[in-house]
């Protein structure tokens, strides 16, 4: 394993841990407040974490950077769009 592979795996692990933590905290907050936006934030950050896991796994299993970057960037784009959508959701009155 070279230095780049190790760096990619470490960074993806940090992304997975951080996004997973935010997703769990947002899910807990949704459970307390029942605000749909918090549930949507949890889903968005879960997408970010899944993208990091899939991207890292593809890179390790195939050794090719292009498919792993495409998979991770696609999941990141979807996750960010979901989080942006959550900002437009309004609380029930």
In a domain, 75, yes or no: yes
Specify if 1 maps to a domain: no
Structural domain of 78: 17-88
User: What predicted TM-score, i.e. pTM, was given to this entire model?
Assistant: 0.88
Structural domain contains residue 5: no
The C-alpha atoms of residue 53 and residue 47 are separated, in whole angstroms, by: 10
Please determine, for residue 93, whether its predicted confidence score (pLDDT) is greater than 90: no
**Any domain includes 7:** no
Q: Helical H runs in 34-64?
A: 36-62
Residue 92 has pLDDT above 70, yes or no: no
Q: What is the pLDDT of residue 89?
A: 83
Tell whether 9 is covered by a domain. no
pLDDT digit string, tens, across residues 20-51: 999 999 999 999 999 999 999 999 999 999 99
Query: Which tens digit of pLDDT belongs to each residue from 53-88?
Result: 998 889 889 988 899 999 999 999 999 999 999 998
């Amino acid at each position: 394993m070279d230095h780049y592979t190790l760096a990619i795996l470490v960074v993806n692990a940090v992304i997975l841990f951080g996004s997973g933590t935010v997703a769990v905290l947002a899910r807990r907050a949704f459970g307390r407040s029942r605000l749909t936006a918090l549930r949507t934030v949890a889903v968005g950050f879960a997408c970010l974490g899944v993208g990091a896991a899939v991207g890292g796994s593809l890179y390790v299993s195939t050794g090719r950077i292009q498919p792993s970057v495409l998979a991770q960037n696609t999941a990141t784009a979807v996750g960010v769009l979901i989080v942006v959508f959550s900002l437009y959701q309004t609380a029930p009155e």
